[in-house]
Structures are given as C-alpha cells and as structure tokens.
Amino acid sequence: MIQLIIAIVLGMIMILMAGVAIYHKKLKVAIIAAGAVSLFASILYILLAAPDVALTEASIGSGLSVVIFFYVLNKIRKYDTEK
Amino acid sequence: MVTPIYIIVALLGVAFALGFSGQKQIKAAGTLALGALAFSLFVSLEWLIGLYTETYKSTQIFTAGVNPPFSINLFMGTGEALFTTLINFIGLFGGLYLFNKLIKKGRSTFIALLMLIMGLNVVVMTRDMFNLFVFLEISSVATAGLIILNQNKKSLAAGFKYIIATGIIAGILLIGIIFMYRFTGSLNIDDIPTGNLLMIKGFGTAIFLILTSILLELKPFPANGWGLDVYQGTHAGISVFISAASGTALLYVLYKFIPLMSPSFAFALSLVGGLTFIASNLLGLKQTHPNRLLGYSSIGQIGLVVLVIGLAPYLGDKFEYIAIALLGTHVFAKAGLFWISGIIQKDNIRKWTILRKNKLLTILFGVFMLALLGFPPFPSFFGKWELITELAGNGFISWMVIILLGSFLEAVYLFRWLGYILKLEAAKKELQPISWNKYLPIIISAILLIASGFGMSYLHEHAKFINYIPLIVAAAFILIDRLPVFIKNTLAIASVGLWYYMMYPDLEEFRLIFATIFLVGGIITLLAGYAYKGKRQGFYPMALIMFAGLGGLIEAKTTLEFFFAWELMTIGSYFLIIRGKKSISHALSYMLFSLGGAYAILAAFGLATVNNTGISLDILANLNIYAPAIFILLAIGFMTKTASLGLHIWLPGAHAEAETDVSPMVSAILLKAGLFGLIVMMIKMGDQMIFGLSISYFLGWLGVFTAIIGNLMAALQEDAKRLLAYSSIGVLGYALFGLALMSHLGWLGATSIAITHFMFKTTLFLAIGGVVWRLKTKNMYQMGGLIKKMPFSFISVLISIIVLAGIPPLTGFAGKWLFFNAIMEKGWYLQGALISFAGVIAFLYCFRLIHSVFLGQLKDEHRNVKEAPFWILLPQYIILGVLIIFSAFPNSLLKPIGEFITPYLPNGALVWDGQMAYSLYGYWNGELIMYAVVGIFVAVLLWIIFWNRKIKKVKQFDIVYAAERPFLPETTHYAYNFFAHYKKAVGILAQPMISNFWEGVSEIGHSVSDKIRRIYNGSGQAYLIHIIGFIVIIFLFTFGGF
Amino acid sequence: MILRNSLLFLLLIAFAAIIISLFSTNYSEAEQLGIVAKHYAENAKAEVGAPNLVSAVVVTYRGLDTLGEVVILFLTAAIIGFMLKSKHSVNNSDKRIKGSEILETAANALVPIIILFGSYIFINGHLSPGGGFQGGAVIASAFVLLVMAKANAKLSHKIISFTESVSGFSFVIIGVLGIILAAGFLDNTFLPLGKYGSIISAGAIPIIYIFIGLKVGSELTSIVNNLKESQNIEI
Amino acid sequence: MDTIWIKLLFSLLTIFIVLNYGLLLQGVVRKIGARVGRRYGIRWYQPWIDIIKNYAKRTKITHGIMYYIAPAFRLTGGIGLLLFMPVIYGTDMFSNFSFTGDLLLLLYFQFFGVLGMALGAAEGGHPYSAMGVSRGLAQVTAYELTLTLGIIAIAVQYQTLSITEIVAAQQGGIANWTIITNPLAGIALMLAFLAAMGRSPFDVVIAPQEIPIGPPTEFHSGLLGVLQLNRAIFPAAKLILFMNLLFGGATDWGTLIIKTFLIYMWSVFVGVAFPRFRVDQSIRWYLFIPLIIGVLAVLFMKF
Amino acid sequence: MIFSLVNISLIIGILLVLAGIWAAITQKNIIKIIIGFSLFDTGIHIIMVALGYVKNNTAPILDSENLRTGTADKIVDPIPQALVLTAIVIGLGVTALMLVYALKMYREKKSLNINSFKDLKW
C-alpha cells in the first residue's frame, strides 16, 4: 500500500516536473526538471524491483545526459555573449 | 561456407579497429573498411549462390549457444541472402564511390558507413524484434552521422529532421515491441501467433504499432517530408545508402511481417503504397532539384513495392518475382542515378547539360532511367508486366490504374530531365575528371541491371522465349560507335537485311506486309544514312533498337513479346526523335503519349488473361467480360502511335524536328506499327460492342475527323516538314477509317494506304529533307524556285504528291476507289463523304508544298544550291520505281493483299480479271487507265512540242506585270500564309483545341502538384505531426475506430 | 495558434487512444512469468552461471543487442567527434578560465575513488545490480568531474580512442571465441562457469562487462570531452 | 486489235465534236451574256479565232519545263475526263474508254489537269498565278463535299458506281431522271455544279473580267492555245457528266447538245444574277446550305 | 484492481510519453524538443519496466535463498529490464547526437527556433 502511495506521489511529481520541463521559459530550469523526471523515475524503478534499471537511469538519465545538455547550453550561451 | 555472423564480426571488428588508426594511416584504414565490406558482400553472395543452386540450405544462426526464443537468432534463407547481397553491394560500392570524400573527413565516417551496413544486414537477418529495434537504431544513427558528411546548413537541418523523425518512429516501434512481448511472452517473430488475433485490439494494436513504424521508416506519403529533405540536403553518395540500402532492408522487414498482417492492414498498406507511389511522382512534377527529385522517385518506387507487399496474398507465387524485379531495379538504378548526381553536383536539373560532355555517363544515365520506368530489357519491365497481369487476373482494376498512373507521372519528370540533359543549351564548363572509383560503381550497377534483366526474363515462364539477338546486335553498335558512318551504315543495313532474310520463310499475310514495310523499308531509309559524314554517334544503336522493336512486333507470338517489342520500338524512336535540333519538348510529348498508350496496351493484355490460359496473342480471340474494355484500351494504345485525333499532338513537332533520314523512319515506318497493332487486334477480336454500339463505328468517325483535321492543319503550316507530319496524321486517319470499316474492301484500302503511305511519305520526307539539308531552313516561304536547282527532288515530290492525292493514274487512286466501294457496301455514307472531303483538302497542302518549295521565284541566296546528296535521292528513286509498277499493275499489290484478308473478311472481295478489278458497285482497270492517260498525255505533249519548237526561255522576272517590274523574289513569291482565305473560312476547325486540352491537363497536374507539396513546409515539427497523424489515420482505417 | 494547438491536442488524444487500446482486450496484470522469462529463471544458473539475471540476459542471451548498444554509443561518440572537429583548430590559451581551487582539490581526491567505484560496479555486474553500462557511466562521470573542475585539463584523445577500440575489439573477439570454442556467437561458456555467485564465475560475463564498462566509460568521456573542447573553438 | 483502232478513231471523233461544241457554247454564252448586259458582244465564232490567233503568235516563251508541259497535263485532264465517260448512251463506240473505270475515276481524274495546270502556272513565278491556284483549290474543297454527297446519294440509289448503268437506269422518260427520282441529290449536285463550272458567283479563281489573274496569267501563244482547247473540252465534259448523272444521259448527239446546253444555262443564269463571292464566302456558303442538302440527300437514301 | 503499482506506473509512463510528444510537436525551441524526446524515452522505459513487473516478486537476482526454496520463478521478468538497459543507453546516444546537432545548427543560424530551418522544403 505504501508503495502505491509513493508511486502516486512520484507520478504526480514527475508529471509536474515534465510540465516544468516543457513550459518553463528558462532552459536551464527545464533541463534540470527533465533530469528530475529521470531521477524520480529511477526511484519508481526500484519500487518496480528493477535495481539495474534504476542504477542506469540514475547515472545516465539524470546524470550524464543532464551534463551533456548543460555543456551544449553553456556552449550556446557562451557563443551568444561572445558575439 | 562462411557463417553470416562473420558479416557482423568483420564489419564490427574493423569498425572498432579503425579506432587504432590515426589520421595518417587513414588511407589504409579506409581500404581496410572497404575490405570488410567486400568480405560481407562475398559472404552474402556466396550464400545467395549456394542457396540458389541448392548446395546450401537455409540456416538458423543462434547466438549465445541457446535456442531461440531464449536467445537472439538470425536466419539466412534465399530472401535474406538476396537482400544482404543487395545491401552489401551498395555498401561496398557506395563506400568505394565516396572513398576520397570519406578519407578527407576522417575515420568516423568510415565507422558510420560500416555500422550502417552492418545494422542493415542484421535488420534483414534477425528474427528477434528487439534486436530489430536496436539495429534499426544503429542504422538510423549511422545515417544521421553520414548525412552531415558535408557539414553545411542544409545537411544539418536535414539531419536533425531525420533524427527527430526516426526517433519518434523508433519510440513507437519500441512500444509495439514491448507490448508484443507482454502478450506473447517472446520476442521472436516466429513465436507471434497469426490469425484472427490480429484484429483484436490490444494484441492487434501492438502489431499495428510495429508494422506502422516500419512502414513509416519507408517514408510513406504524406509522412515523408523528413526523408525528402534528407535527399535534398545530403550528399548524393549518402542518399544512395538511404534510398537503396535502408529502403531495401526495411522492405524486407515488412516482408517478414506479412504473416502478421490482418487483411484490413494489408489493404491499408497497399493503399498507402499506392498513394505514395502516385503522390510522390505527382509531386516530382514540379521539382527541379535533382536529388530531391530522385528522392521523390525513390519514395515512389518504394511505395510501389509496399503496394505489392500489401497485395501479396493476391499475387500468389508471383509475389516474390514481382517484388524482386521492382526492388532490384530500384536499388541499382537509384544508386546509379544518385551516384551520377554526386558527380554532376548541380542543384537544378536544367544545369545538368554538363553531363552530356561525358558520353559514357550519359548512356548510363539513360540506362538507369529506362530501367526505373520499366522499359525492357530491365527487370522492372518483367516485374510490372507480371504485376499488372496478376492484378488484372484478380480484377483489381483500380490498383492497375494507380500503378500505371504513377508510373506515367514518374516518366513525365524523368524524361523531361533526360530531355534537358540531351538538348538544353550546353554548359561551357567541362566536367571535372572523374576518378575510377566513381566510375566503377556506376558501371557495375548498370551491368548488373542489364544482367538481372536477362536473369529475370530467363526466370519468367514466357519471357525466356524472347528473342534478344536483335537487341544485342543493336547494343553492339554502341561498341563500334566510334567507327565512321559508312561502315556502321553498311553493317546496319546488313544486319536488318539478314534479319529479314531469316524471318522471311515464316512470314505470311499481314506479317509479311508489315515486316516488309518495317525492315525492307528500314533498309531503304538507312541508305540515306550514307549521305552523312563523320561518325554520327549514337544514331545507329538507337535506330537498330527501333528496328529490333519493329521486327519483334512481327515475330511476337505472345502478348509479352509483343509488348516487349513495342516498348523497345518506343525507346529507340524516342532517342531518334530527340536527336533533332529543337525536339526537346516534342520528344517528351512523343514519349509521354507513347507511354500512355503502352500502358493502355499493358492494361489490356493484363485484362486479357482473365479466364484465359497462357499469354499467346491468340487469347485475344477468346475473351472474357472485359472484351470491350480490352478493345478500347488496345485501340487507344495503338492509336497513340498512329496519332489519331486527340492523341496526335506529339507527332507534328516530333517528325518535323527529326533529322533528314529519321523523319521517314519515324513517320513512314514507325506509324505503321500502330496500324499493325490495330490489325492484329481486329483480326483476333473482331468488332466489339459497348452499350449495344459497335466500337469500330466510333473508330470510323475518329478516323474521319483525324483525316480532316490532319489534312487541314497540314494545309495551314509554314514549315515543310511539319506539313508532311500533319499529312501523316491525315493519311493515318484514312487507314484507321478503313480498318474500322471491318470489311474486306475497307481493309484492302487501309492496307494499300499503309503501303503507299510508307512509300510516298518516305520519298517526300527524304526529298524535303534533302532540300532542308541544302537550304538550312524548313520554312517554305523562304524557299521557292528550286525546280531549277534540284530537279530530281522535284520529280520525286511531284510523283509522291500525285500518289498522295489519289489522282489517277498513279496508285494512290486505288486507295480512294477501294474506300468508296467499301463505304457504299458498309453504308457509312456521311463518313465516306467526309473522308473524301479530307482527300480534297489534301490537294491544298500537296500543291502548297510543291509550289512553295520548287516553283515560283528562286531566292537570291539559293542560286548556288546543289541537288540533294545522291544517297538521299537513291532511296527515293527506288521507291518511285516500285510506285510506278504498282500503279500500272495494281493487282500485283492488291490481289495478294486481298487474299490475305479473305480468310478474315471474305465478303465483298474484289473480282480480278487481269488488271481489271470488279467490286459490287464499280470497276477499275489501273493498267488501261495508265495506258490511256499516258497515251493522251504523250500525244498532247508531242503536239505542244511540235508547235512550240522555237520556244524561248525567259528570265526569272520576265513576268506579266501591269506596273513596275518586281525585282525581289521575296516579295514576288506568293507562299507565306498561302491559304489565308481558307483559314478565314474554316480556321475554326484548325484551332489548337486538342493541344489546349492536353496543356490544360498538364497544367492541372502541375498545379495540383504544387499545391500538395506545400505540406512539406520544411519544419521538422510539422513532419512529426504528419507522422503522428499518419499513425492515427492508419489506425482508424485498420480498426475502424479506437 | 490556439486553434493549431487545440487541433494538435486532439491529435494527441487520438494517439493516446491508440496507446490505451493496447490495454483493451488481452491485457491483464501479470501473475507469472512468460515462457522465456521462466526459462531464464530456471536455467540461467546452468546455462550462464550468473545470479543477476538481468546481466545474464544483457550479456549472454541478448548479447547481440548489447553489442548493438555498444555500437550505438561508439557511433554517437564517433559522429559527435566528427561533427565537433573544427576546421581550423585555434589555440585559445589566452582565454583560459581559472577553475575554483576547492573544486579542483576535491576533484583530485574524488576522481580515483569514483573510478574505483565504477570498476566495482562492472566487475560485480554478474552478481549484483549494475554492470558495464552503469559502471562505465560512473567512470565517465569521474572524468566529467575532472574536466569540469579543471578548466585546463586535457584528456588525451588518443588514449580514449585507444581504450575504446581495444575494448570494442576485444568484445567482438570474445564473441567470436564463443563461436569457435562454444555453441555460438557471444556464448559465454567457453570459459568455465566457475562457482555460482563468486566473482570469477559465469564464464566470460565479467570479462565482457569489463570491456563494456571500459568502452562505455571511454565513449561517454569522449563525448563530454569533445563537447568541452569544442567550447573554446570557434567556427 | 481492230477494235482498239476503231475505238481510237471514235475517241478522236468524240473529242472533235465536243471541242467544237464547247467552243460554240463559249461563244454563244458570251454573246448571250453581252446581250443581257445590253452590249453587242463578240461574234459567236470568236473562240475559234482566239485559238487560231494564239497558235499563230511568233514569240513563244517558257518559264521552265513544268510551265512547258503544264498545258499537256491540262488538256490530258480534259480529254481524259471526256473519254473515261460514256458520252452517248447505248453506243459502244461513243462510250470510249468508260470501261476502264467508273464514276470514281472521273471524280478524281478531273484533278489531274487541275494539278498539272497549277504546277505550270506556279512555275511561271507570277504571284497572281499562285494566288489563283490557292483560291481555286480552296473552293474545290468546298463544293467537292456537296458533290461527293450527291454522288453517293445517286450511287446508293442505283446501287452502282458505273455511269453507264446509272444512265441505263434513267432511261424511259423524264420521270426516271435522277433529278426527279432523287431531287435532294439532284439539287446538291446542281449546286456543286455551279462552282465546278467556275462561273460567277464562283469565278474569283480566274477573275476573267479584271486584270489577268489566276492560273493562266503567265501563259501565252501556243501554250495558251492548248489551254483554250481545254477550256472548251473540259466544261463540256463536265456538262456531259452531270447530264449523265441527273438528266438521263443522251442517246444521240442532238439530245446531248440540247440537254447540256440547258444545263449550262443554269449556271449562266445564276452567274448573271448573282455577284461574285470572295473565296472564303463561297466556302462558307458551300459548307452551309448545299452541305445540308447533300447530307439530307444521303440520309434520305440511307433510311 | 486499477490502482496497482503496475497500473500507476503505466499511467505515468503513458503520460510522460504523451507529454514528450506534446513538447516535440508544440515547442519551437530545439532544446525543448530534445527535452521532449527524453521525456518520451523515459515514459517508454517506465512502461517497459512496469510491464515486466510481476506482483509481489523480487528483483531478478537469484540468491541462494531463491534457489534453495525452489522459488526461482518468483522474480520479476528480467527481459524488459534488460531491454530497458539497452534502450536507455541508446536513448542517451541519440539525445547526445541531437544536442550536438542543435549546437551546430545554432552556429549556422544563431537561432534555436525550429522554424528557422526551413530551407529545404517542397
């Protein structure tokens, strides 16, 4: 039962975060929100008895891919300020 | 025997190993990569050969040492072997072609190439759905990497659109796969149950998602904007992989899933395929960017194969044959075209004129184009034939129409393009030198295309009897194209003559007559070729292909052979016509009308197989419910060649612009092919009724109007050759009318007109051609008075027009006399009166021709003109000799023809008494009339000569004039707008209504094309929406609701 | 705009309806494993010898997929490298940005530990959750940290790509060894299965995971590195 | 063998008779025309004088070979037309060469001379000649349609194309003449006949009253003489043709002369009464009323 | 029962998928579109894992306990998890590629608006 509640809460947060990711004006925030969706997803994976997936999602989905997003964003911003 | 897994191992291993190499060893690394590709090609080819010769058996390849479905397994059967061979071929030669470019860009590009090919290989072989997904992703990512080879704005935008589109498609595929796993507990394709489950939602939806995403990868209309942008944005060498390799692999995946398709999905699939085929070819009409145009064509071709896959259950055991023929052609031809495009690197098809600086590439371009359009002897010809036949056999008329319409649209832009290349103002720049590694792939594709054409025909139960020798002989002339005209002409005459000689013992009846017109006529017109100097490159192969087609028509025993020959003839004549100076648009319209006609014939032959066994021409005699439709279709097909009213607008330009000796070939000889077809058709089918009315009755009226309009238009022309061209329309109108009479005398008249038309039109075209040859103008008002300079040409024109006009005592009268009697017999009085009216109109242009060219005032600049070359005169006089003999002894010609006709139409035959012919109504003695006329003429002439012994010849301007004497021939020669008053009186009939109609049709097509293509607005987002929308619509279509 | 969005929304609803129709007839919540999964649960010990079934599936049963997955990363890394390679490389030494000292020191201390942790994850992949991908990602994050902390740090492309190639190549070779020595491509049983549940067991799985880990790590590192280096290089 | 020579002799006789008759007709008609116009007019034997005068000219010029032989073509056309037709019904000898061909032969052979003439005139190089030919041909096409319709109607009526048989079918009194038994065809043919005779209102081709225009413009002396011979024979031959088709033919020369004279008068009267058409007008006219009559004639026969 | 863990996860997954698609088809910013794709991917992954879940079963790591009690099949389905592993990595690759594309595209046009890249059309 507790699992259910956690799952529902997680789900609500994820949907909210997804909304932020889509609609927030600042790309930085949007990216972080998207990373958060991934992070919460990995918690959900643990609930779903999938530790391997959770580990992967955490390290890749909310880790590396956010880093890459930021690198690119940073690069674009830098370009803007330089020119 | 090498396990196919080594394809993966080799490609992967080399790709990983490339990481060891630095920029310095890049050449070695590239060579190694090509080596790996060559190895894969070798493996798959070995399997293909082994499986085909049945030395190998199809094999499952297990991984992980566990049996499926517990592990991933690959499968190598004939299909897989064939498809991996195709893919690896493209991989190897595409890599070779791009070698220099890839080396410049570094090893990553080689990695992408290797991975793309490996991915596609696995996609073809795998039996595991998730594995399919992974390797599809590999190939998508690799493609996305290759697209930006040039790293410019366009390729970036295109690549991004490609990634997001394939990304969303892959996601949907993944959803489908996971649900499929959820429902069946297995990821193996072979474990998926088939049957009625497919229509159940849930399970059915999962299958639907899988199938639809595969379909989407094949770029179906309208969810294909991303694909088109990629074709346009990327290097042509990369497009080869996308079009030829990826498309091929995905089609095979679709094929693997055939057992899973529900009938409604299969129907949706074929509908999408058909729509894609038509729409992308329609949209191609307005396209000028070569790569995007090829993209449209490519998508269209793949749509066609999708259509075939959707119809697979109905095609039975022919399915594979058809699909492979169509796909094989697509692969080789499209690869070749893209490769050529990569060499040319022009962004507008109008700038492609530079291609013709390179003869070899031009020939190859033509080969690919003809192959794409399904001309013989390429595989798609047999594929399309079988497809149409099978569809007709199943009664799928609308599919047939879709396929033929789509092919036609494709032909429009491809031939327009070919025309631009061959005829537009040439670019000044030379083509860059092309390295061997760019040539080789193109040449090999072309060779394979031809070889596979022969292969497909060998595999076909009927096509294997096709006589290829004439075609091979014609092709051999390409090899000796550098020899001088004299040698080639002699060889050409010898080969045509030899063929006729060999054919002769088998000839009988109409086949004898038409074989003589085609081949002996061909020899006579070829004689004029000796007048040319230099090499005359490109002429002989094409002329001989045309003659091969014409002879093939005679030899044809089956509908397939007939159609084969018909298409050959069309190609050959197209290339002959386009040799003319301003013939670019005329050649195009010739080709389009011919193709339209050919498709009508194809459809008719297809329909004829319903309820019939075999494809012998005799099945036409034993027809089914479609008989009237077949009759009409065949008639339309043949009438495009005889240029009957409504289908004639191609003719004047095409014939008028052609070269001196080509005009008689295409006019005097080629048009008869249509007549021959009509005769064959009518002999086999008799007359047909539609809504209780005889179709031939309509044909009769059509013939009448063709004759009137043709002759009237001829009378109003300023261009001498155009006049003759319109005259051909008119005369062929007579012939059509005669055939439509469906009576002994009608046919006799039609046949004799066919023969005499051959003779006088050859003579006229050669004579006028000789004049044009010397004067360099075709406008009659710029000529005049040439009787003094070119008396021999004059005499030949004189005799010819007397024959043409049907004035006794020459043989043309025979036709008129026969017609009149036939009309009386048939009771078609009004038509008869009109047809003789048309005959009188012929006098107008006959006189205009001879007057404006040979009589009247000689122009100053023509005072030193010489008589036409001997070799142009010689054929004319040979023919004239024959004409005079036929005139004096009409029964030498008409009696045997009558005997040929009697078995089919015995009633109302002529009764011969020496040279005296009796019909039911009248009588006629050609010989005595000749004697009488000649006698009177000689007597009168002698009288004149006697009385005017001391006659004095006056100078040119010594004419009766009231006021000051004229001194300019230009103002004195009454030739321009010669029949102004006639135009005023009946000009309303000469309005270009038919041309306007066809131009309107073309305009509508193009504007529809322009409207529809606006859906590809260039935004990647819009393309995503198209994809989602496409899925929804197909879902609704398949399931009829959510 | 509103009209367009509402139309798009309708389209999305329709698409949602398709997805939901997946649940309409045959779907029911799973009560037991499917045939294949059951086979794995029962026979994995004998066939593969790895307690972590996910690893068993990833590395052996569906080894070809994993190979493909590695290939995708490899490809992306290669393509990104190709795309970001500038036409004329400018040395922007004057534009160096000083990294924060604290970060630098912390990074120096953390990086080896993280790398060690990553290696642990992939070496134990056949026993516990985790494996080559996760381990590789962790290793990569160590380098990301390094790169972020030290503005001037330069990772050698050569070493990265060498590691990448060696590990990838070895993966393929192990796969081929499976054909030669055992029952098929990527069959892990050409090495002894060893004691169930111990580190050195499960045939070739740990070895493959090591290579996967190295490969994924080096590939991800190279992606980040390429991105980073391209930062200071202008068009 | 003998019959051939006898036939030839009779043919020559036919030609001779018809020639003189034709010249006489010319003279008489011109006289009548003048009298109607309140002029004195020529003498009735003026045509003979004209011919003799032309032959007697000493300067003879030519523009070239085609010009030179054109009169031969022309006269051959006229004589041929005459000889391929049964002139006097019932006599074998005055049927001349009509056994060699039927009505169709005549229909097409009439163009033989026209064509030759046109060619010769064209070689003369005078623009008026070419213009005349152009007009003439255009007009021919117009009335030819009506003519053909009429002839078809007659051929259908009698189920034959042989003139001899057509004439035979009309024997036995006026009531059997085609003009009575098949009035529509008769009217159509008589309308076509007007233009065939080349008289006003359809005489713009030659435009005889004005400056010389039309095919013979350039011809002089002996060559013109030949043409004049033809101008006598050719119309007469046409008259005989129409007589044969519509008015029961003739069994003796007297009947022939009377009938043809009367037929000729038809065109003369029309010519005197109506002003000249332009070519395009005459074409339009022929493609309207006479065409409708012709079509009706044919339809009438068909149903 | 509707409100089971699996069903909730599935709903979350589907909503994420839809949200991702929504972002991809409505947002003009390329980075946002890419974010949409990663949401789409995450959603699919959640669906996949949820579909492999068997109620009350343990993670697919067999310890001696399972083997001894013969309850080896009391685990959740390992296959979807393995597939998701693969899919996540693939997703990362594709996302990275898209991002680099975005970067390069920005360099070309100084814009991240997807509608600025309409040079190729029709």
Taking contacts as CB-CB distances below 8 angstroms, the residues of chain E near B154 are 119-120
pLDDT given for residue B948 in this prediction: 83
Q: What is the CATH number of the domain that holds E76?
A: 1.10.287.3510
Shortest CA gap C179–chain A (Å): 28
pLDDT surpassing 50 at residue C90: no
Helix ranges (DSSP H) in B261-378: 263-284, 290-310, 312-315, 319-344, 359-372
Nearest CA in chain B to D223: B944
Q: Cβ E85–A34 below 8 Å, yes or no?
A: no
DSSP string covering B590-607: HHHHHHHHHHHHHHHHHH
* Interchain contact E/C (3 or more Cβ pairs less than 8 Å): yes
Listed by number, the residues of chain B in 207-246 with a beta carbon closer than 8 Å to a beta carbon of chain C are 209
Please indicate if any CB of chain C lies within 8 Å of the CB of B784.
Answer: no
Please indicate if any CB of chain E lies within 8 Å of the CB of C51.
Answer: yes
| pLDDT class of E64 with cuts at 50, 70, 90 | low
**Number of CB atoms found within 10 A of residue B968's CB:** 11
Site of tokens 């509608």: E115
Tell me the mean pLDDT in the region D238-253: 90
Contact B125, B75 (CB under 8 A): yes
Listed by number, the residues of chain A in 38-57 with a beta carbon closer than 8 Å to a beta carbon of chain C are 50-56
Give the whole-angstrom CA distance, residue D174 versus residue D162: 20
Please indicate if any CB of chain E lies within 8 Å of the CB of B364.
Answer: no
pLDDT given for residue C88 in this prediction: 42
Task: Collapse the DSSP code of E79 into the 3-class scheme (helix H, G, I; strand E, B; otherwise coil) and give the result.
Answer: helix
Taking contacts as CB-CB distances below 8 angstroms, the residues of chain C near E26 are 5, 8
Name subunits touching B (3+ CB pairs < 8 A). C, D, E
| pLDDT class of E67 with cuts at 50, 70, 90 | low
pLDDT given for residue C93 in this prediction: 45
pLDDT surpassing 50 at residue C139: yes
A45: closest CA among B780, E59, D90, C62?
A: E59
Please indicate if any CB of chain C lies within 8 Å of the CB of E101.
Answer: yes
Nearest CA in chain B to E86: B134
pLDDT given for residue D89 in this prediction: 86
Between these two residues, B190 and D296, which has the higher pLDDT value?
Answer: D296
| pLDDT class of C14 with cuts at 50, 70, 90 | very high
**Number of CB atoms found within 10 A of residue D298's CB:** 24
Contact C209, C132 (CB under 8 A): yes
Task: Collapse the DSSP code of D183 into the 3-class scheme (helix H, G, I; strand E, B; otherwise coil) and give the result.
Answer: helix
Model confidence pLDDT, tens digit, residues B589-642: 999 999 999 999 999 999 888 888 888 888 888 877 888 889 999 999 999 998
In our burial notation (b when 16+ CB lie closer than 10 A, e otherwise), range B467-503 reads: bbebbebbbebbeebeeebeebbebbbebbeebbeeb
Q: Cβ E12–A15 below 8 Å, yes or no?
A: yes
Burial class (CB in 10 A: 0-12, 13-18, 19+), B126: buried
Nearest CB among D69, D125, D302 relative to B857 is that of D125
Domain count, chain A: 1
Task: Name the β-bridge partners of C185.
Answer: B63
Shortest CA gap A83–chain C (Å): 11
pLDDT given for residue C233 in this prediction: 45
Nearest CB among B817, B847, B936 relative to D118 is that of B847
Helix/strand/coil percent split, chain D, to 5: 75, 0, 25
pLDDT given for residue D212 in this prediction: 62
* Interchain contact D/E (3 or more Cβ pairs less than 8 Å): no
pLDDT surpassing 80 at residue E72: no
CA angle D170, D176, D179 (to 5 degrees): 95
Taking contacts as CB-CB distances below 8 angstroms, the residues of chain E near A38 are 38, 42
Tell me the mean pLDDT in the region C2-23: 90
* Interchain contact B/D (3 or more Cβ pairs less than 8 Å): yes
pLDDT given for residue C235 in this prediction: 41
Within its chain, how far is the Cα of C165 from the centroid?
15
Task: Collapse the DSSP code of B45 into the 3-class scheme (helix H, G, I; strand E, B; otherwise coil) and give the result.
Answer: helix
Model confidence pLDDT, tens digit, residues B301-344: 999 999 999 998 888 888 989 999 999 999 999 999 999 999 98
Residue E44 located in a structural domain: yes
Nearest CA in chain B to D143: B837
What residues contact B505, with CB distance under 8 A and at least 6 apart? none
pLDDT given for residue C115 in this prediction: 86
Name subunits touching D (3+ CB pairs < 8 A). B
pLDDT surpassing 50 at residue C89: no
Q: Cβ E97–B1018 below 8 Å, yes or no?
A: no
Please indicate if any CB of chain B lies within 8 Å of the CB of D3.
Answer: no
Give the whole-angstrom CA distance, residue C171 versus residue C71: 11
The Cβ-side half-sphere exposure at B639, using a 13 Å CA radius, reads 26
B1002: closest CA among B590, B598, B409?
A: B409
| pLDDT class of B195 with cuts at 50, 70, 90 | low
| Domain that residue E86 falls in | 5-116
Between these two residues, E50 and C184, which has the higher pLDDT value?
Answer: E50
pLDDT surpassing 90 at residue B445: yes
Q: Would you say the C-alpha torsion B170, B174, B177, B183 has a positive or negative sign?
A: negative
Listed by number, the residues of chain D in 167-186 with a beta carbon closer than 8 Å to a beta carbon of chain B are none
Nearest CB among B13, B105, B138 relative to C172 is that of B13
Listed by number, the residues of chain A in 47-76 with a beta carbon closer than 8 Å to a beta carbon of chain E are 47-53, 56-57, 60-61, 64-65, 68-69, 72-73, 75-76
Q: Terminal CA-to-CA distance of chain A, rounded, Å?
A: 57
pLDDT surpassing 60 at residue C91: no
ipTM of model: 0.88
pLDDT surpassing 80 at residue A82: no
Tell me the mean pLDDT in the region B16-39: 86
Helix ranges (DSSP H) in B827-948: 829-854, 870-888, 890-901, 926-947
Name subunits touching A (3+ CB pairs < 8 A). C, E
pLDDT given for residue C94 in this prediction: 44
Q: Cβ B65–C187 below 8 Å, yes or no?
A: yes
Q: Cβ E73–C73 below 8 Å, yes or no?
A: no
* Interchain contact E/A (3 or more Cβ pairs less than 8 Å): yes
Give the whole-angstrom CA distance, residue D78 versus residue D72: 10
Shortest CA gap E113–chain B (Å): 10
Residue E122 located in a structural domain: no
Please indicate if any CB of chain D lies within 8 Å of the CB of B968.
Answer: no
Taking contacts as CB-CB distances below 8 angstroms, the residues of chain B near D291 are none
Contact B381, B566 (CB under 8 A): no
| pLDDT class of C92 with cuts at 50, 70, 90 | very low
CA angle B750, B755, B759 (to 5 degrees): 140
| pLDDT class of D41 with cuts at 50, 70, 90 | confident
User: What is the amino acid identity at position C77?
Assistant: A
Model confidence pLDDT, tens digit, residues B470-487: 989 988 998 888 889 899
pLDDT given for residue C151 in this prediction: 67
pLDDT given for residue E66 in this prediction: 66
Q: In chain D, pLDDT over 70 holds for what percent of residues?
A: 97
Between these two residues, B428 and B138, which has the higher pLDDT value?
Answer: B138
pLDDT given for residue B221 in this prediction: 87
| Domain that residue A30 falls in | 2-82
**Mean confidence (pLDDT) of chain B:** 89
Tell me the mean pLDDT in the region B361-388: 91
CA distance to B37, B510, B639, B1020, per residue, from C2 (Å): 52, 73, 57, 20
Q: What is the DSSP letter of A61?
A: I
Q: Cβ E119–B153 below 8 Å, yes or no?
A: yes
Listed by number, the residues of chain B in 105-134 with a beta carbon closer than 8 Å to a beta carbon of chain C are 105-109, 111-112, 115, 118-119, 122, 126, 128, 130-131, 134
Q: Cβ E114–B137 below 8 Å, yes or no?
A: no
Taking contacts as CB-CB distances below 8 angstroms, the residues of chain A near E106 are 76, 79
Please indicate if any CB of chain B lies within 8 Å of the CB of E41.
Answer: yes
Residue E63 located in a structural domain: yes
Please indicate if any CB of chain B lies within 8 Å of the CB of D52.
Answer: no
Shortest CA gap A74–chain C (Å): 8
Listed by number, the residues of chain B in 927-966 with a beta carbon closer than 8 Å to a beta carbon of chain D are 928-929, 932-933, 936-937, 940-941, 943-944, 947-948, 950-954, 956-962
Tell me the mean pLDDT in the region B818-826: 88
Listed by number, the residues of chain D in 194-223 with a beta carbon closer than 8 Å to a beta carbon of chain B are 211-212, 217-218, 221-223
Nearest CB among B832, B956, B981 relative to D280 is that of B981
pLDDT given for residue B794 in this prediction: 93
Give the whole-angstrom CA distance, residue B348 versus residue B346: 6
CA angle D269, D274, D280 (to 5 degrees): 125
Model confidence pLDDT, tens digit, residues B276-286: 999 999 999 99
Model confidence pLDDT, tens digit, residues B841-862: 999 999 999 999 998 888 888 8
Q: In chain B, pLDDT over 90 holds for what percent of residues?
A: 47
Nearest CB among C34, C40, C165 relative to B19 is that of C165
Domain count, chain E: 1
Model confidence pLDDT, tens digit, residues B945-957: 888 888 888 887 7
Shortest CA gap C225–chain B (Å): 16
